[in-house]
Amino acid sequence: MANLKAIRGRIKSVKSTQKITKAMQMVAAARVRRAQARTLATRPFTKKIIQMLQQVVHEANAVDLQDIPLLHKREHIKRVALIVISSDRGLCGSYNTNVFKATIRRIHQLRAESKEVVLITIGLKATGFFKRIKEVERIKTYTNLPAIPTFETAKMVADYANHLYVHGKPPESDHKPNYDAPADMSQRVDQVEIIGTRFLNLGKQETAEVQFLPVQLPEGIDHFPMSAETIFEPTLTELMEEELIPKYVDNVIYQAMLEASASELAARMNAMSNATSKASELIQELTLVYNKARQGDITQQLLEIVGGAEALK
């Protein structure tokens, strides 16, 4: 017969775990609403930035854009950097696993095209996972970032990627990139991509792969109404380098980090909800086993009493 003390201890342990998962579910549910609001609120602004940049590129001559390095797609792509966005904490279901699978799949695709791959990891989970994979070089890691993504953090990541694309080395200061500085061709990357998660709703998230650098504007976005003879002041190059392109790259990273934050919280809320439900089911099953074992123990004691009484007759 099953040990009643062991079953009671198991039930107590599951109930304690259930309290933790229930608390984590409530915390994630409270935070995910704010994260969802932030993510949805920034999407229109990011879309407008893309629209404006697309319209300016459409209106400008190719000669005016040739001195802007972030707009030029290199003919021979030899080295690609992947920005992998994960979480610092676990207990969020398959959120991180899906990102890692998408990253591994993309690495295999790029290597099949004879391209070298380097990683920029965001989050302790991605850093720990790819640390065990010696074949892939990690050139930069960002861990223990604020729970709520900030624009300053996104700008820090964007500046590093910009310098890596243009110069082949990290920025020496917090100032804007100096595009006239000589590039380290041995370290420079020819393309930067972002692999993260897109928030769809509280019950569904999907992995997303975004072309980051060089700037690749999506098709099918409505243009702003501009005249055919648009005048750019002070100059088109300064407008692009000092305003539009920095805002574009910073907001693309910021939006990706917001999407990842909302997706992580939604995944954690769902995972903890499922864990709480499974704990309730397990408690019911263990309680049933305990009652059966207790009933069997009582029956055995009664049989022993009856048998002893018969023996005394």
- Sheet arrangement for strand 116-122: 137-142, 116-122, 79-85, 191-201, 204-213
**Rounded to an integer, what distance in angstroms lies between the CA atom of residue 176 and that of residue 145?**
22
> How far apart (Å, rounded) are the C-alpha atoms in residues 162 and 169?
9
pLDDT above 90 as % of the chain: 42
Average pLDDT score over the chain: 83
State yes or no: pLDDT of 180 exceeds 50: no
155 domain-assigned: yes
Q: What is the CATH number of the domain that holds 238?
A: 3.40.1380.10
Let me know if residue 246 belongs to a domain.
yes
Query: Residue 123's domain spans which residues?
Result: 55-261
Return the exposure string of 114-145: e unless at least 16 CB atoms fall within 10 Å of the residue's CB, then b. ebebbbbbbbbbbbebbeeeeebeeebbbeeb
The H or E element containing residue 273 is helix 245-312
Q: In a 3-state reduction of DSSP, which class is residue 219? A: coil
Is 46 a member of any domain? no
Q: Is the pLDDT of residue 242 over 60?
A: yes
| 201 assigned to some structural domain | yes
Report the distance separating Cα 99 and Cα 226, nearest Å. 40
Residue 239 lies in a domain: yes
* Residue 78 falls inside a structural domain: yes
Domain total in the chain: 1
Catalytic site positions: 92
In this structure, are residues 229 and 164 in contact, taking their beta carbons and an 8 Å threshold? no
- Report which DSSP code applies to 88: S
Is residue 308 in some structural domain?
Answer: no
Full-model pTM: 0.82
pLDDT digits over 25-35, tens only? Answer: 999 998 998 99
